[in-house]
A and B are shown apart, each in its own frame.
Chain A
Amino acid sequence: MMPEQALTDVRSDALRRLTSGLYVLTTCVEDTLHGATVVWVTQVSSEPLLVLVALRRNSHLAHAVRNAHRFALNILAADQEALAERFFKHLTAPADSTNLQGFAYRPAPGHCPLLTDAMAWLECRLAAEPESPGDHALFLSEVTGTGVRRQGQPMVLWDTTWSYGGKTG
């Protein structure tokens, strides 16, 4: 019926048409700070305010979020590709460090490290990890804190040279 489907595996192409941003997820578990760039983030409720984040199921980052029960999303500006790229690898630092691998932060009310270079942030409390048969765990989370540092254009995945290969989580 659709001749295009016979040519290539178009499923991945159609999935690449979904619009995503880039965010640095940070959290603090006991005496360790964590940060990594994430892509699959969406709001899912207005009342109450809930967001959903998908992280590779058995990643250190997913385990850190499960243990912390909270995390922050640091929103990057369009020109912060270098910052995003540094956090493609999950970075950690002792909680008594003054910076997270060279990036200044201040603690959020719930103790997640907020990158001071980011445009804005949300801090979230983990509300549920709904069942999913996928390779990424879903974290349904309530927004508990928020702040805007400056206005600007946020980073959009398809304006960059990257696509999400599922490994950054």
Chain B
Amino acid sequence: MADRDITKDVLRMFNYGLYVATVQSPDGPRAATISWVTQASFEPRLVTVAMRKGTAICEVARASKRFAIQVVAADQTDFAKAFFKVTQSGPDQIAGYHFSMTANGLPLFDVAAAWLECEVVEEANASGDHAVFICSVLGSGVREPARAALALRDTSWHYGG
């Protein structure tokens, strides 16, 4: 087996962005910050998104087959930080961030600089501690094309899973 400490160092050299995932659950909207996201196909356009099994966001994504991911911009570290933990939500806000519902029924934050609305087409990674959702892109948008995305590397955070 690989040395876990060295492995951790190497895995931290991988590059990730930060994304706020949102779902609409029967109990209302939920949001969580995630980072293990990558594109997985051009035609059709697919992304893979990993979410820790057993978390509310993962379970709702699995049940509803839908979620949005909002790209955290370079100057939005507070936006990412707001959803590290379970947060309070209301009919039009989560952790104080206002959202509106998209035509696909997903909460989309006003501050999102770019986003993808995802539909789960397959789930993989039965043996891992995160579900891997293979998703088609239902919708997307870029509000501010010039705005750079926040790279996990440029923050003081690591995601070890």
B window 35-52: CB within 8 A of A: 36-48, 50
Contact A132 B15 (CB under 8 A): no
In the complex, which residues 46-74 of chain B have their Cβ closer than 8 Å to any Cβ of chain A?
Answer: 46-48, 50, 71
Alpha-carbon distance between A75 and B152 when the two chains are bound, in angstroms = 17
| CA gap between A21 and B14 in the complex, in Å | 6
B2 to A, closest residue via Cβ: A146
Q: Are B38 and A18 in contact (CB under 8 A)?
A: yes
**A131 part of interface (Cβ distance < 8 Å):** yes
- CB distance A18 to B141 under 8 Å? no
Instruction: Return A118 CB to nearest CB of chain B, in Å.
Output: 10
Contact A52 B10 (CB under 8 A): no
Contact A138 B134 (CB under 8 A): yes
A2: interface (CB < 8 Å): yes
Chain A residues whose CB sits within 8 angstroms of the CB of B113 once the complex forms: 17
A15 contacts B116, C-beta separation under 8 Å: yes
Taking a contact as CB atoms under 8 Å apart, the answer to whether B161 and A43 are in contact is yes
Per the bound structure, the CA–CA distance linking A145 and B2 in Å amounts to 4
Q: Point out the residue from A2, A19, A45 that lies within 8 Å of B125, measured CB to CB.
A: A45
- Whether A40 pairs with B39 at a CB distance below 8 angstroms is yes
Interfacial chain A residues near B1, Cβ < 8 Å: 144
CB contact between A50 and one of B115, B122, B128 (< 8 Å): that residue:
B128
Question: Looking at the complex, which of B22-30, B78-86, B143-151 is the stretch in contact with chain A?
Answer: B143-151
Q: Smallest CB-CB separation from A4: which chain B residue?
A: B141
Q: Is the CB of A96 closer than 8 A to any CB of chain B?
A: no
Q: Which residues of B contact A17 (CB under 8 A)?
A: 17, 71, 113-114, 142, 149
Q: Does B140 contact A (CB under 8 A)?
A: yes
Within 8 A of B (CB), among A114-144: 119-123, 127-128, 130-136, 138, 140, 143-144
- B110-138 residues at the A interface, CB under 8 angstroms: 113-116, 121-122, 124-125, 127-130, 132, 134, 136-137
CA–CA, A49 and B160, complex, Å? 10
Contact B36 A75 (CB under 8 A): no
For the complex of A and B, the 9 pairs showing the least CB-CB separation, nearest first, are: A134-B41, A45-B128, A46-B161, A130-B124, A19-B17, A21-B15, A14-B140, A17-B71, A42-B38
